[in-house]
Amino acid sequence: TNVWYGLHRHGIKIPLPGRTVQLERPARSREREMQSTARNILRQQPLFKSLADIELDALLPHGHITHFGRGEKLIEQGEDGDSMFILVDGEANVVVDRNGLQAHVASLKSGDCFGEMSLLTGEKRSATVIASSDCEVVEIDRTGTARSLQENPELLHKLSELLAHRQMENEGIFAAQLQAHILQAKKDE
């Protein structure tokens, strides 16, 4: 399944022998449905509540819908990042790797946003997000958010607060897991 998702994201179709019956739904309605779901998710996020409906609606058409299979990496720590994601359907785990130690720092579910740290700071991705079930995400790139940030300074302020909070949260979780690892190593000696 994951191979098929990967090929599909790159526009590659696999010819299969035998009879294939293909029913196609209009892509437009599925895209509208996903964007409507993403809009509802964003309206519930404290981060985007300061946006007017028009601003929110202007942000979403720049987003594109992507499917990931269970076990696939949605983003990988250390990669360049210029987009954020809205998890419309599915679940994922956030993992941070430091000095060879991996720490599970969060679990994401439908309605969560991620990737905004790299989007705003221009830094490399600070964590890896792995799908724990099949996932559908809406990816919003930098060009889609730049105009909204310019027109709404309150959004930039809220994003900065969220970034600081997430950074502190990740550092605290990682430090606690590192301490537990050190204590376990001492017990094993």
Q: Which of 60-74, 79-93, 127-141, 167-181 has the lowest mean pLDDT?
A: 167-181
Burial 119-148 (b: 16+ CB within 10 A, else e): bbeeeebbbbbbbeebbbbbbbebebbeeb
Condensed to tens digits (0 to 9), the pLDDT of residues 38-53 reads 777 777 766 666 666 6
What's the residue count for the chain? 189
- Above 60 in pLDDT, residue 27? no
pLDDT at 116: 77
Q: What is the pLDDT of residue 41?
A: 75
Over residues 130-154, mean pLDDT: 79
Q: Is the pTM of this model over 0.85?
A: no
For residues 98 and 75, give the distance between their C-alpha atoms in angstroms, rounded to a whole number.
Answer: 16
Kindly state the average pLDDT of the residues 130-144: 86
pLDDT at residue 75, rounded to an integer: 93
